[in-house]
Homo-oligomer: A and B are copies of this chain.
């Protein structure tokens, strides 16, 4: 269940001399607008398709590429010696991961369900960020985004109750789904994944979801969908009011 499809290379290089192979054509990695990206790469770009639970890279491997999610979701996690797992991030469409400056990856990255990823080699990143101010700025912005995400996560884990954690998580998904007041969230990851991200057990996560359902702020038609019935309600839960 794994293949690196559609990795068609070689295109007209720009003027600059030794451009690494993995992302010619100016490396669309730095392009912001995702809809464009999706369109382009569905065609024949250097996008890669991954299947459910497929491993993108493992902790300790040489950090050769970084990635942008076009479709699907990726789980960045670390496994402790005692077997516990902490999910560091769920990477949703438009977001990047694997942008490490250390020589090897510091966490595992696996696809949650199915995903289409954009890939750019480290060498290419380095080349481009050395040459082009604009892309350099963008890359720093990416690093910076990753940083603030991690800090939010720290606050979540350090200070929030189970209900607040789950609600905040839903809020993030709702935001990504552009929900204003009410609407359906597609939940790509399973309960165990959610739990590992939130620093809770599977059971607590589940119970908390049920609790929010009982309070009427959400409904759960099936395991992969959660309907937000009142975004305000979820926000209240996330802030400890309720």
A residues at B contact (CB < 8 Å) = 78, 80-82, 84-86, 88, 100-102, 106-107, 129-130, 133, 136, 139-141, 143-144, 146-148, 150-151, 153-155, 157-159, 196, 198-199, 239-240
Find out whether the CB atom of B88 lies under 8 angstroms from the CB atom of A199.
no
Apart from A107-B151, A158-B198, 11 more pairs, CB < 8 Å: A78-B155, A80-B155, A86-B155, A88-B151, A88-B155, A100-B144, A101-B141, A101-B143, A129-B136, A150-B154, A158-B196
Residues of B within 8 A of A82 (CB): 239-240
* Copies assembled: 2
Residues of B within 8 A of A106 (CB): 148, 151
Find out whether the CB atom of A158 lies under 8 angstroms from the CB atom of B157.
yes
Look across to chain B and name the residue whose beta carbon is closest to the beta carbon of A159: B84
Residues of B within 8 A of A196 (CB): 158
Find out whether the CB atom of B130 lies under 8 angstroms from the CB atom of A133.
yes
Bound complex: CA of A240 vs CA of B198, how far in Å? 20
Q: Choose one: B100, B107, B147, B199; the contact of A157 (CB below 8 Å).
A: B199
Residues of B within 8 A of A155 (CB): 78, 80, 86, 88
With A130-B133, A143-B147, A150-B151: A158-B107 Cβ-Cβ less than 8 Å: no
Find out whether the CB atom of B146 lies under 8 angstroms from the CB atom of A147.
yes
Bound complex: CA of A155 vs CA of B82, how far in Å? 13
